[in-house]
Amino acid sequence: MPIYEYVCGTCGELFSRLRKMSEADAPASCPKCGSNETKRQISACAIGGGGGTSGGFGGGG
């Protein structure tokens, strides 16, 4: 499941949620104030394996 970022329209809190893709645009309650006036943000995605690779991306090898 992907991690989505949201911003609260009431208090401005920025938070993340691990959700199914089908639930990405469903309201997410703010952990700070409890409001459902939240919007999903466009965020970067992480692609790749882990650290310590010698393929030129991890710097370890």
Per the confidence metrics, is the pTM higher than 0.85?
Answer: no
Residue 54 has pLDDT above 80, yes or no: no
Residue 56 has pLDDT above 80, yes or no: no
Q: Where are the domains of the chain?
A: 3-41
DSSP string, the chain: --EEEEEETTT--EEEEE--GGGTTS----TTT----EEEEP-----S--SS-SSSSSS--
Distance CA 28, CA 7 (A): 9
Taking only the tens place, the pLDDT of each residue in 5-51 is 999 999 999 999 999 999 988 989 999 999 999 999 987 776 766 65
Query: Taking a C-beta distance cutoff of 8 angstroms, is the pair 4, 16 a contact?
Result: yes
